[in-house]
Amino acid sequence: MKEYRITQHPILPIPERKHIHIYWQGQRLTAYQGETIASALFAHHIHVFGHHHKDGSPQGIFCANGQCSQCMVLVDSKPVKSCMELAAEGQRIEPLEGLPNLPPATEIPHMQPAAPFQVPVLIIGGGPAGLSAGIELGKLGIPTLLVDDKHRLGGKLILQTHRFFGSSRAVYAGTRGIDIATLLQGELESYPIVKIWTNSTALAIFSDRKIGVLKDGSSYCLIEPQVLLVAAGAREKFLTFPGNTLPSVYGAGAFQTLVNRDMVRPADDLFIIGGGNVGLIAGYHALQADIRVAGLAEALPECGGYKVHKDKLMRLGVSIYTSHTILSANGRDHVESVTISKIDSACKPIAGTEKTFDCDSILIAVGLDSINEFYTKARQFGLPAFSAGDAEEIAEASAAIFSGRIKGIEIARFLGFPANPIPEDWYSIMEILKSKPGKLHAESRLAFHQSVFPILHCFQEIPCDPCTTLCPKGLITLHTKDIRSVPEFNFESDNCIHCEKCVAGCPGLAITLVDYRNDPQQPIVSLPFEFNQDVIPSLNEVITLDIEGNVLGINPVLKIKRIPKNDRTLILHIRAPKEYANRIAGIRIQDPVPPIITPNLISNLSDEAIVCRCERVSAGEIRSLIRAGCRDINEIKTISRAGMGACGGKNCTSLINRLFREEGIPLSEVIAPTNRPLLTEVPLGILAGIDEAKQNE
């Protein structure tokens, strides 16, 4: 069977891993030790993991984060989340067809109570915020326990191959996310006072202020902390549209997990919904993995992410459709195409603007919801609690790092440990790092054509300053009171030494260099390049484009070079006429994908879109209850079972609230659902303390 694995990548090394063998419906498959079952199945192009017991709909991965329970399979007759369970030699894996049969009970098992474990500080979440807080607590010698439900620390950092924006002085700006994760983990592990439990899930917070934790996936523990820090991150938002639960409709985090963590190629043709930083960056990651991006649709009139990310995609050949929404995902048991349409100022689809694109995957990147249930419960039960990172407020990872640092020191001071006061500028730096994209400046056109100098294709005020640290002559500067400013090059100086460090090191890949010294009529343009070299045949011609993706010409590549000690970004040298050399901002990697015009589809839309994935409850069913007078989501749960499934309402509650808004009901009139005591599923035998080995006999 053909494997869909990434065998070369411009940024990520291809690890040497031990081969193992698993069995899918009796068929022997090759897997790698340390990868999840879901990734092993995707590597063999298996995207359907079972069928729902209610209507037989195909089930597949959506979040790859243990939050949605759509990827359940049977492993040696036991139901498990395939995105969280590691593949192991000889596993017998079957699709989950309907409801699994419970194993027979032959005797009453002997149950053991969980022994409490006391610790001054418990941190839930080992992403950028949790790691940073743990480091500050470790520095101060405060006993701390950090639990994370993944097999590796770093959170979303381990999915980010690009260089980070932000402050070079404060938060590793200019360093790739994957490397920041390694740096933070290494620093945390240098403090033995901080214990780390990976593959361990926080399950619940109880009224006696104990916290249930599933340790290493097999034993139940009760933690008694003096203080809790919730740094659990965020879960991805979902959308309602016909076909929204088809296999291969998934969140950006799931896609990046498969591609950048597990080196699996989950798609050939991808369409993206959402133009924030997450969607734009995921599109770039797809192209790096040799996946065609058929297009990107954003409901707002302009993408909400950084303009340098949008510009980069457009130059590479991705068409971006602003003021557009998804109408439907089309296919029988997997995605075969997507239909979008333009929307008016009231966000209503405009008839006659429908477009359909052939694709085999749809990536949903329409925002995040904080995972703050643990913080809310802790406060309710009187347990001193703090939150940091996305669990507190959705922002960039650089802000989460600073948030974690601050909360770590705040916790130390709360506990009475001697700690230096938090520097006053830390709070202002954190607010700067949280700031949204700011003012756009007009692109400047240079009139002179001489010497050598960089062109800064960065015209939006964003929190970013690595370019100012890259130039050894200090010729790139920011001229405002903080890092949210457009960089400038000192053209009055003739000191550029053509080192190209600014070209290779800009996080937005938004700097080029033009050298007129040898041939003022045909200067050489230096461009950053982060793709496999076989994308460009040796010394071939490429299509060059301006900052907005407009074609400028077809130009020869003179060479591809690597700067010594540079961080994996290559430099292309391209010869171009002086008339547009200083306007070149990138090269095309793929041809834009034309849509199929498919009008008159809007009238066929219905309320068939699924709101509750677990119980297969449609938008139409919930709308009818709202129109009948339901204002209590608990009542909606009782009647329709929406929110009663395996995920515990984590994914559908926000969609139900959206339906209330669409029906003109203010949320102030809506009664929120009662959360379950357990926020994550766990086998009852583990809660009862039954020995795992005996369960498997």
Q: Mind listing the pLDDT tens digit for each residue in 575-630?
A: 999 999 999 999 999 999 999 887 766 655 568 899 999 999 999 999 999 999 99
- The Cα diameter of the chain in Å comes to 88
Instruction: Output the pLDDT for position 687.
Output: 85
Q: What are phi and psi of 423, to 5 degrees?
A: -55, 135
Instruction: Output the pLDDT for position 139.
Output: 96
Give the up-direction half-sphere exposure of residue 139: CA atoms within 13 A in the CB hemisphere: 14
Q: Is residue 7 part of a domain?
A: no
Alpha helices in 390-448 (DSSP H): 397-414, 424-434
Instruction: Output the pLDDT for position 681.
Output: 82
Q: Is residue 85 part of a domain?
A: yes
Instruction: Output the pLDDT for position 179.
Output: 95
The C-alpha atoms of residue 93 and residue 87 are separated, in whole angstroms, by: 10
Instruction: Output the pLDDT for position 697.
Output: 40
Q: Is residue 635 part of a domain?
A: yes
Query: Both 360 and 398 in a single domain?
Result: no
Query: Both 458 and 583 in a single domain?
Result: yes
pLDDT band at 539 (very low <50, low <70, confident <90, very high): low
Query: Both 334 and 207 in a single domain?
Result: no
Query: Both 141 and 256 in a single domain?
Result: no
Higher pLDDT: 676 or 140? It is: 140
Query: Both 63 and 49 in a single domain?
Result: yes
Residues of the chain by 3-state class (helix, strand, coil), percent to 5:
25, 25, 50
DSSP structure class, residue 421: P
Where does a domain end: 345, 364, 383? 364
For the stretch 121-150, pLDDT in tens is 999 999 999 999 999 999 999 999 999 999
Query: Both 641 and 494 in a single domain?
Result: no
Where does a domain end: 364, 388, 403? 364
pTM reported for the whole predicted model: 0.94
Q: Which domain holds residue 479?
A: 452-587
Mean pLDDT of 501-530: 95
What is the chain's length? 697
Mean pLDDT of 512-538: 90
Alpha-carbon distances, residue 24 vs 35, 91, 266, 629 (angstroms): 15, 8, 18, 47
Identify which of 440, 155, 395, 359 has the alpha carbon closest to the alpha carbon of residue 277: 395
Q: Is residue 547 part of a domain?
A: yes
The C-alpha atoms of residue 10 and residue 567 are separated, in whole angstroms, by: 11
> What stretch of H or E contains 639?
helix 633-640
Mean pLDDT of 334-357: 93
pLDDT at 308 over 60: yes
Query: Both 63 and 212 in a single domain?
Result: no
pLDDT at 104 over 80: no
The C-alpha atoms of residue 49 and residue 39 are separated, in whole angstroms, by: 12
pLDDT at 103 over 60: yes
Mean pLDDT of 435-457: 85
Q: Is residue 392 part of a domain?
A: yes
Which residues are within 8 A (CB) of 423 and not within 5 positions of it... i.e. 6 or more apart?
Answer: none
User: What amino acid occupies position 326?
Assistant: I
Identify which of 433, 431, 453 has the alpha carbon closest to the alpha carbon of residue 444: 453
Instruction: Tally the domains of the chain.
Output: 4
Query: Both 573 and 459 in a single domain?
Result: yes
pLDDT band at 695 (very low <50, low <70, confident <90, very high): very low
CATH of residue 251's domain is 3.50.50.60
Mean pLDDT of 631-637: 95
In percent, the amount of the chain with pLDDT more than 90 equals 76
The C-alpha atoms of residue 626 and residue 606 are separated, in whole angstroms, by: 17
Query: Both 79 and 186 in a single domain?
Result: no
- 457 token code pair: 């294709």
Instruction: Output the pLDDT for position 605.
Output: 57
Mean pLDDT of 28-50: 95
Instruction: Output the pLDDT for position 690.
Output: 74
CB 244 within 8 A of CB 238: yes
CATH of residue 697's domain is 1.10.10.1100
pLDDT at 556 over 60: yes
Sequence-distant contacts of 72-79: CB under 8 A, at least 24 apart? 72/96, 72/646, 73/37, 73/49, 74/100, 75/37, 77/103
Instruction: Output the pLDDT for position 603.
Output: 58
Query: Both 463 and 568 in a single domain?
Result: yes
Instruction: Output the pLDDT for position 70.
Output: 87
Instruction: Output the pLDDT for position 450.
Output: 82
Query: Both 564 and 657 in a single domain?
Result: no
pLDDT band at 680 (very low <50, low <70, confident <90, very high): confident
CB 575 within 8 A of CB 555: yes
pLDDT at 320 over 90: yes
Instruction: Output the pLDDT for position 424.
Output: 84
Pairing of strands 385-387, 219-230: parallel
CB 246 within 8 A of CB 58: yes
Q: Is residue 654 part of a domain?
A: yes
Mean pLDDT of 651-657: 91
Higher pLDDT: 642 or 694? It is: 642
Where does a domain end: 335, 364, 393? 364
Instruction: Output the pLDDT for position 99.
Output: 86
Three-class DSSP labels, 113-143 = CCCEEEEEEEEECCCHHHHHHHHHHHHCCCC
pLDDT band at 289 (very low <50, low <70, confident <90, very high): very high
Mean pLDDT of 33-50: 95
Instruction: Output the pLDDT for position 694.
Output: 47
Q: Which of 437-451, 511-525, 587-601 has the lowest mean pLDDT?
A: 437-451
Instruction: Output the pLDDT for position 114.
Output: 85
pLDDT band at 416 (very low <50, low <70, confident <90, very high): very high
Q: Is residue 410 part of a domain?
A: yes
Q: Which of 104-108, 535-539, 601-605, 687-691 has the lowest mean pLDDT?
A: 601-605
pLDDT band at 696 (very low <50, low <70, confident <90, very high): very low
Query: Both 256 and 356 in a single domain?
Result: yes
Q: Is residue 600 part of a domain?
A: no
pLDDT at 295 over 90: yes
Mean pLDDT of 386-404: 94
pLDDT at 1 over 70: no
Identify which of 443, 431, 510, 408 has the alpha carbon closest to the alpha carbon of residue 166: 431
